[in-house]
C-alpha cells in the first residue's frame, strides 16, 4: 500500500520567531526542519512506491519545495542514502532561498496557506487522474499534512472551504498538526470533514514523535491504529456584522450572510428585507446575554426577556 | 471531473447522430416510438409482428460513432482525445465568472413516471431501470451541490399521483424511498395533472425565498387527467413553481408548455448518455430571474428574506447515549438544537421540536461557491 503524502509547511517568520522564544518547550525553525526531514525520510523508507511532495506557504506566496522545478544537486556522499539526501537538501535549500527573498521585505503579509493547499491538491489530482493506467492506480492513497503555526485568516474562509470540498471529492485526507499559536477553527473543520486528524502539540520538542505516531501511517490504516481524533469541533459561525460567535443567526436568503441580529439591509448584497419579517424575527429572537450591542433593529424587542443561567434562551413574544 | 468528460464524449456522438441521420430517418424513429406506445399491450401477445416499427435500438440506423474520432498521422488518438478535453474546458470557461444571483434554498419534487410506457426497452435495460439508476445518481449529486435543499418524490402510476418519499433534506432518506424497485413496478397510465397537483400542494407552505421546483421524468406520450391541466399550469405559474421535464419518448406540447410558462427546461433524451446529461444539467441551482423592479428604489425585495438559523453543537462520540428526536434511537453522537436543546441525528434539518432550521457552517460554505464562483485556474 503506497501512499502519496503532500506536506504543507506554514513558514510565517513572525510565528516561527515566537515559537522559538516560547516559554514552554520552544521549537526553533532549525530543529523543526531536522524533525521534518527525519519524518519524511521515514515515509520514503516505509515503502518504495511512496511519493512525497512538499509545499511551503510563505507570506503572500506559496512554492513547491520538493520535487523542485530546478533540482539542487547535492555533493555525492558515500555515507548517505541518495533519495534521503536529495529530499533533505531540496527542502533545506528551498527554505533558505525563500526566506532570503522575504527577509528584505519587512511588512507583515499573512501566509498563503490556501495557495499551498490548492497546489497540493492540484499535484495530487495530476498524479491520480492523469495517469489512470499506472499499476498502482488503486493503491495510491493520498493525504495532505498541514503543519500550521499561524492563526486563522478570516478573509480566506471561502477559499479554504472550497479547498476542503475539493479534497473531499478527490478523497484526500487532510491531517493537521498545529505546532504553535491558537487553535484554528478552519483547519479543525478541514480535518473533520475529510476524515483526518487534528493534533495540537502540547510538547513541541517531541514533534517527531507526534508526526511518526499519528501521521506516518496511511489513512486506510488509521482505524486499526486508533490515531487520536478530535472530540469537539466548533460548527458555530462568526456573524458578518460584529464577528460574534453565534448559536442562532439570521441569514440573508440571497447571499447567505450571517448576522447576529435582524438587520433591515444586507451589508453584503445590499438587499432590503421586508419590514414585516424584521418585526416577526425581532419578536421571535432569543435574547442572548452577550448580544447587547445597540442597533436600530433592537428597539422593537422588549427588554424584559431574560435568559436563564445555563444558556437556554427564553423566547419573548 | 469524470461526469463532465463523459458528457463531452456523448456530445460529440449526438452531433454525429444529427449529421449522419437524415430527416427521414429521424421521422421514422419518432413515429416508431409513437406506434410502439399505442400498441404496447398488443405487443405482448403478438410478439415480433411489429418488426417494421423500428421501436428497438438494434433496428435503428447504424451510427458510426467511431468515425468522428480521427487518427493523426502516427495512428494515435491523442489529438482527438485532447480535443474532447478542450471542449469541456472551453465550456467551463464560458460559465459566468461573475457573481450571479441564484436560489440557494431549493425545494424539489422529483416526479417519476411509473406508467407502463416505462417498460419500453429502447433504453437499456428498460426505461424504468435506467431512470431509477440515474435518479439515484442525480439525488446524490443534487444534495452534494445543494446542501440546504430538500427533495421529495412523487410517482405517476395508474392515473394517480403517489407519494413515494416525503420532502426531506437528508439524501439517505430520499434514496431509501426509491430503493425498493418492486414497490414501484410500472403500471397503467400516468396522470400529469394529479401528480403536479400533489407536488405543488406539498410545497405550498414554503416561504417566498425558497424555490419550488418540479422535475418530471416522463416516458409516456399520454396523460390522463381528471380536469383541465392548463388550470394546473396557471396555478403553477402563479405560485412560481418551476417545472422541468426530461422526456424519454418524444416531445409533447403540454410538456413543452409546462416548462416554457414556468421557466423550466425541457429536453427529450435521445439515448442513455443524453438522458443523463439532461438530468445533470438541472443539478446546479438555477439563476434567479431579474426582478421587474430595477435598482430596487426604496421598495423592499419581495423574495429576499432573513432566515433564522441555528448552528448546533456536535456531541462527541463518547458522550452518554440518549434518544434522538428524529428516529427515537439511542445514540451517543448527534447535534443539539441551540434553541430547544433537542438532539437530532443529522444536519441540515428542521428541528422536530421547535422548527428552527439547523445547519452547520460547512453547509453554508458549500453553497458559497455558487454565489462567488472560483476564477478559472491558469494551466501551467
Q: What is the CATH number of the domain that holds A114?
A: 3.40.50.410
Select from A233, A246, A286 the Cβ nearest to the Cβ of B339: A286
In this complex, is the C-beta atom of B105 within 8 Å of any C-beta atom belonging to chain A?
yes
> Last residue of a domain, which of A225, A256, A275?
A225
Whether A230 maps to a domain, the answer reads no
Nearest CA in chain A to B105: A253
Q: In what order do the strands lie in the sheet with B306-310?
A: A258-259, A248-252, B306-310, B357-358, B349-350
Residue B24: per-residue pLDDT: 39
Q: Measure in Å the smallest separation between the Cα of A48 and chain B Cα atoms.
A: 29
Better pLDDT: A22 or B133: B133
Q: Which residues of B touch A249 (CB under 8 A)?
A: 308-311
Biggest CA–CA distance in chain B, Å, is 72
> Last residue of a domain, which of A176, A206, A225?
A225
Q: Which of A81, A78, A89 is nearest to A42 (CA)?
A: A81
What pTM was computed for the model? 0.74
Is residue A161 located within the same domain as residue A240?
A: no
Summarize pLDDT for B156-191 with one digit per residue, the tens: 999 999 999 988 888 888 999 999 888 889 999 999
| Interchain proximity A235–B361, CB inside 8 Å | yes
Is residue A215 located within the same domain as residue A266?
A: no
Whether A312 maps to a domain, the answer reads yes
Geometric angle at alpha carbon A7, from A126 and A149, rounded to 5°: 140
Whether A164 maps to a domain, the answer reads yes
Summarize pLDDT for A277-286 with one digit per residue, the tens: 788 888 776 6
Is residue A130 located within the same domain as residue A46?
A: yes
Is residue A195 located within the same domain as residue A105?
A: yes
Q: Measure in Å the smallest separation between the Cα of B340 and chain A Cα atoms.
A: 7
In this complex, is the C-beta atom of B19 within 8 Å of any C-beta atom belonging to chain A?
no
Q: Measure in Å the smallest separation between the Cα of A116 and chain B Cα atoms.
A: 14
Is residue A45 located within the same domain as residue A156?
A: yes
Is residue A157 located within the same domain as residue A291?
A: no
Mutation pick from A160, A166, A167, A249 vs chain B, by most beta carbons of B within 10 Å, is A249
Look at residue B152 and tell me whether its pLDDT is greater than 90: yes
Q: Are A190 and A176 in contact (CB under 8 A)?
A: yes
Predicted confidence band of residue B357 (pLDDT cuts 50, 70, 90): confident
Counting other chains too, the contacts that A241-245 makes at CB distance below 8 Å and 24 or more residues apart are: A241/A267, A242/A293, A243/A154, A244/A290, A244/A291
Whether A286 maps to a domain, the answer reads yes
Whether A59 maps to a domain, the answer reads yes
Select from A255, A275, A285 the Cβ nearest to the Cβ of B371: A255
Geometric angle at alpha carbon A170, from A164 and A173, rounded to 5°: 60
Nearest CA in chain B to A123: B380
3-state helix, strand, coil in chain A (%, to 5): 40, 20, 40
Is residue A194 located within the same domain as residue A292?
A: no
Summarize pLDDT for A265-279 with one digit per residue, the tens: 888 777 788 888 788
Share of residues in chain B with pLDDT > 90 (%)? 31
In this complex, is the C-beta atom of B42 within 8 Å of any C-beta atom belonging to chain A?
no
DSSP per-residue string spanning B118-173 = GG--SSSS-HHHHHHHHHHHHHHHHHHH-TT-EEEEEEEETTEEEEEEEEES-HHH
Predicted confidence band of residue B294 (pLDDT cuts 50, 70, 90): very low
CATH node for B101-280 = 3.40.50.410
Predicted confidence band of residue B40 (pLDDT cuts 50, 70, 90): very low
CA-based torsion, B279, B281, B286, B289: positive or negative:
negative
> Mutual orientation of helices A113-129 and A157-170 as an angle, nearest 10°?
20
In this complex, is the C-beta atom of B358 within 8 Å of any C-beta atom belonging to chain A?
no
Q: Which residues of B touch A258 (CB under 8 A)?
A: 309, 364
Mutation pick from B312, B361, B368 vs chain A, by most beta carbons of A within 10 Å, is B361
Q: Measure in Å the smallest separation between the Cα of A13 and chain B Cα atoms.
A: 28
Is residue A146 located within the same domain as residue A268?
A: no
Provide the domain limits for residue A288.
Answer: 236-317
Q: Which residues of A touch B307 (CB under 8 A)?
A: 250-253
Q: Which residues of A touch B3 (CB under 8 A)?
A: none
CB under 8 Å to A289, separation ≥6 — which residues? A307
CA gap A164, B188 in Å, rounded: 48
Is residue A242 located within the same domain as residue A178?
A: no
| Interchain proximity A237–B311, CB inside 8 Å | yes
Is residue A39 located within the same domain as residue A147?
A: yes
CA gap B348, B298 in Å, rounded: 34
| Interchain proximity B356–A248, CB inside 8 Å | yes
Predicted confidence band of residue A303 (pLDDT cuts 50, 70, 90): very low
> Last residue of a domain, which of A196, A225, A254?
A225
Q: How many domains does chain A have?
A: 2
Q: Measure in Å the smallest separation between the Cα of A79 and chain B Cα atoms.
A: 38
Domain boundaries, chain B: 10-53, 101-280, 309-370
Report CA A96 to chain centroid distance, whole Å. Answer: 24
Summarize pLDDT for A207-253 with one digit per residue, the tens: 999 999 889 888 878 878 877 777 667 677 778 788 777 888 888 88
Whether A276 maps to a domain, the answer reads yes
Is residue A49 located within the same domain as residue A163?
A: yes
| Interchain proximity B305–A273, CB inside 8 Å | yes
Is residue A253 located within the same domain as residue A220?
A: no
Amino acid at each position: 500500500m503506497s501512499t502519496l503524502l503532500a506536506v504543507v509547511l506554514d513558514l510565517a517568520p513572525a510565528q516561527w520567531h515566537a515559537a522559538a522564544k516560547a516559554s514552554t518547550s520552544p521549537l526553533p525553525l532549525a530543529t523543526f526542519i531536522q524533525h521534518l526531514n527525519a519524518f519524511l525520510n521515514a515515509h520514503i523508507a516505509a515503502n518504495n512506491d511512496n511519493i512525497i511532495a512538499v509545499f511551503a506557504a510563505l507570506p503572500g506566496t506559496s512554492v513547491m519545495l520538493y520535487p523542485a522545478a530546478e533540482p539542487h544537486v547535492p555533493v555525492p556522499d558515500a555515507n548517505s542514502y541518495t533519495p534521503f539526501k536529495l529530499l533533505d537538501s531540496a527542502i533545506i535549500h528551498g527554505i533558505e532561498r525563500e526566506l532570503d527573498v522575504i527577509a528584505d521585505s519587512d511588512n507583515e503579509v499573512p501566509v498563503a496557506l490556501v495557495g499551498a493547499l490548492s497546489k497540493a491538491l492540484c499535484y495530487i489530482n495530476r498524479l491520480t487522474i492523469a495517469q489512470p493506467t499506472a499499476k498502482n492506480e488503486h493503491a495510491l492513497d493520498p493525504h495532505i499534512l498541514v503543519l500550521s503555526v499561524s492563526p486563522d485568516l478570516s478573509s480566506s474562509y471561502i477559499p479554504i472551504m472550497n479547498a476542503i470540498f475539493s479534497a473531499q471529492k478527490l478523497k484526500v485526507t487532510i491531517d493537521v498538526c498545529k505546532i504553535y499559536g491558537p487553535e484554528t477553527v478552519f483547519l479543525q473543520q478541514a480535518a473533520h470533514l475529510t476524515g483526518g486528524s487534528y493534533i495540537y502539540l502540547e510538547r513541541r520538542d517531541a514533534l517527531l514523535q507526534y508526526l511518526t505516531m499519528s501521521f506516518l501511517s496511511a489513512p486506510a490504516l488509521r482505524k486499526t491504529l486508533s490515531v487520536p481524533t478530535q472530540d469537539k469541533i466548533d460548527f458555530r459561525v462568526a456573524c458578518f456584522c460584529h464577528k460574534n460567535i453565534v448559536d442562532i443567526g439570521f441569514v440573508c436568503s440571497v447571499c447567505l450572510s450571517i448576522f447576529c441580529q435582524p438587520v433591515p439591509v444586507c451589508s453584503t448584497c445590499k438587499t432590503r428585507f421586508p419590514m414585516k419579517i424584521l418585526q416577526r424575527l425581532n419578536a421571535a429572537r432569543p435574547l442572548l446575554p452577550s448580544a447587547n450591542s445597540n442597533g436600530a433593529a433592537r428597539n422593537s424587542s422588549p427588554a424584559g426577556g431574560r435568559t436563564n443561567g445555563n444558556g437556554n434562551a427564553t423566547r419573548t413574544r | 471531473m469524470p461526469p463532465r468528460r463523459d458528457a463531452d464524449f456523448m456530445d460529440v456522438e449526438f452531433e454525429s447522430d444529427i449529421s449522419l441521420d437524415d430527416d427521414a430517418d429521424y421521422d421514422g424513429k419518432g413515429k416508431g416510438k409513437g406506434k410502439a406506445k399505442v400498441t404496447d399491450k398488443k405487443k405482448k401477445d403478438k410478439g415480433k409482428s411489429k418488426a417494421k416499427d423500428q421501436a428497438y435500438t438494434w433496428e435503428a440506423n447504424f451510427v458510426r460513432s467511431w468515425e468522428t474520432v480521427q487518427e493523426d498521422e502516427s495512428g494515435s488518438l491523442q489529438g482527438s482525445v485532447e480535443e474532447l478535453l478542450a471542449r469541456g474546458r472551453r465550456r467551463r470557461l464560458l460559465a459566468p465568472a461573475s457573481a450571479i444571483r441564484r436560489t440557494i434554498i431549493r425545494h424539489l419534487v422529483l416526479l417519476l413516471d411509473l406508467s407502463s410506457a416505462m417498460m419500453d426497452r429502447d433504453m437499456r435495460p428498460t426505461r424504468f431501470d435506467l431512470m431509477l439508476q440515474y435518479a439515484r445518481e442525480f439525488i446524490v449529486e443534487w444534495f452534494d451541490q445543494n446542501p440546504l435543499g430538500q427533495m421529495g418524490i412523487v410517482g405517476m402510476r395508474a392515473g394517480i399521483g403517489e407519494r413515494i418519499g416525503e420532502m426531506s433534506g437528508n439524501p439517505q432518506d430520499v434514496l431509501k424511498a426509491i430503493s425498493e424497485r418492486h414497490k414501484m413496478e410500472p403500471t397503467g397510465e400516468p396522470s400529469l395533472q394529479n401528480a403536479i397537483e400533489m407536488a405543488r400542494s406539498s410545497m405550498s407552505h414554503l416561504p417566498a425565498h425558497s424555490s419550488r421546483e418540479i422535475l418530471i421524468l416522463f416516458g409516456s406520450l399520454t396523460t390522463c387527467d381528471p380536469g383541465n391541466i392548463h388550470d394546473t399550469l396557471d396555478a403553477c405559474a402563479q405560485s412560481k413553481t418551476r417545472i422541468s421535464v426530461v422526456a424519454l419518448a418524444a416531445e409533447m406540447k403540454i410538456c413543452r408548455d409546462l416548462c416554457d410558462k414556468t421557466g423550466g427546461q425541457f429536453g427529450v433524451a435521445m439515448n442513455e448518455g443524453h438522458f443523463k446529461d439532461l438530468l445533470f444539467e438541472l443539478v446546479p441551482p438555477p439563476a434567479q430571474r431579474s426582478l421587474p423592479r430595477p435598482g430596487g428604489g426604496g421598495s423592499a425585495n419581495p423574495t429576499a428574506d432573513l432566515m433564522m438559523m441555528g448552528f448546533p453543537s456536535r456531541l462527541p462520540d463518547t458522550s452518554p447515549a440518549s434518544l434522538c428526536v428524529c428516529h427515537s434511537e439511542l445514540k451517543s453522537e448527534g447535534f443539539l438544537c441551540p434553541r430547544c436543546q433537542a438532539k437530532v441525528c443529522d444536519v441540515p434539518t428542521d428541528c422536530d421540536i421547535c422548527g428552527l432550521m439547523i445547519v452547520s457552517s460547512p453547509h453554508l460554505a458549500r453553497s458559497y461557491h455558487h454565489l462567488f464562483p472560483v476564477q478559472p485556474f491558469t494551466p501551467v
